[in-house]
Amino acid sequence: MARQRKKKGRPVSGWIILDKPLEMGSTEAVGKIKWLFGAQKAGHGGTLDPLATGVLPIALGEATKTMPYVTEGTKAYRFKVAWGAQTSTDDLEGEPVKTSDKRPERADVEAILDNYVGVISQIPPQFSAIKIDGARAYDLARGGEKVEIKAREVEIDEIKIITHTPDETVFEVECGKGTYVRSLARDMGEELGCYGHVTELRRTLVEPFDEADLVLLTDLEAAKPEAADGEPIDYDALDAMLLDTGEAMADLPRVDLSDDQAQRIRMGNPALLIGKDAPIAEDEACAFIKGKLLAIGEIGKGTFQPKRVFNL
């Protein structure tokens, strides 16, 4: 029988809501956080472009099991569009491909905003992470290949103007998974006849996390413990910056368990829910023991049936 390989790193769990710096990729950010915490496992809750800043939720350990609930959540962005040019990347990184001397009035921009609310059809940028025959669109585009990317439906809850000058407009948008803000800028510029591209982009929300939860990379780096010969590394200062794994489940119905109920769930068995306030039926819910997330499951016929159990 083959000996099981020991996992490298600490079995630390929780969420870091990183204020992602400009020009850092999401994968690079995950690697940096994993290294800082000496963690066994890490992942992010939704890609953020290198030229964007803001909310990048990074899950460590058991929190990676809750990542789907974050990636599916509502997102919000604040972004600036420069009018007068469309670029190959729909942002500052690319070269101008269309230009215009026309500039929109605020009323012109406001008049088209309703066209970008609700379920809309959107073509992702040429420089995007969309896969085309197994290859990323941005890799093909960087190789000089122009690819055909199919339009897809995305949902936008709200878009509004924050400030406006003839040369640029700052917007805020609240939207669903898969929305490309760069495509919004491109499409609005096309409709206005003046062209446009994103010059600044900041994500302010990835439900249930927002800017109030943000941690700076510089603060994390300052808290990294120094290794001393023969002494165990003290990660207390870093671990204090983690949000609990269960913070990702804020939008699901919650059940608080007794020790006996928790023991049944740890064994993979259903737990009977009692009391006048006990939920009767929920397609999806989460169960907590002493404030810690223990399981995700469903409630039916007065019992909680676990589907995914967490190691506490």
Q: Does residue 79 contact residue 181 with C-beta atoms inside 8 Å?
A: yes
For residue 177, CA distances in Å to 45, 75, 150, 308 come to 11, 7, 17, 23
Sort residue 234 into left (φ over 0), alpha (ψ -120 to 50) or beta.
beta
Catalytic residue among 19, 49, 90, 187: 49
**Would you call 219 a catalytic residue per the annotation?**
no
Antiparallel, parallel or unpaired: β 53-60 and 196-206? parallel
Question: Quick one: which of 294, 298, 297 has its CA closest to 311?
Answer: 294
* Neighbour tally for 133: CB within 10 Å: 6
CA distance 304 to 235: 36
Antiparallel, parallel or unpaired: β 53-60 and 42-44? antiparallel
Can you spell out the DSSP letters for 84-105?
SEEETTSBTTS-EEEE-S----
Instruction: Measure CA of the first residue to CA of the last residue in the chain; give whole Å.
Output: 29
- In sequence order, the 6+-apart residues with CB closer than 8 A to the CB of 212 are none
Q: Measured in whole angstroms, how far is the alpha carbon of residue 207 from the centre of its chain?
A: 8
Letter for the amino acid at 245? T
Given the structure tokens 């066209």, which residue do they identify? 115
Q: Does residue 33 contact residue 59 with C-beta atoms inside 8 Å?
A: no
- Quote the tokens at residue 48: 């953020």
What is the set of active-site residues?
49
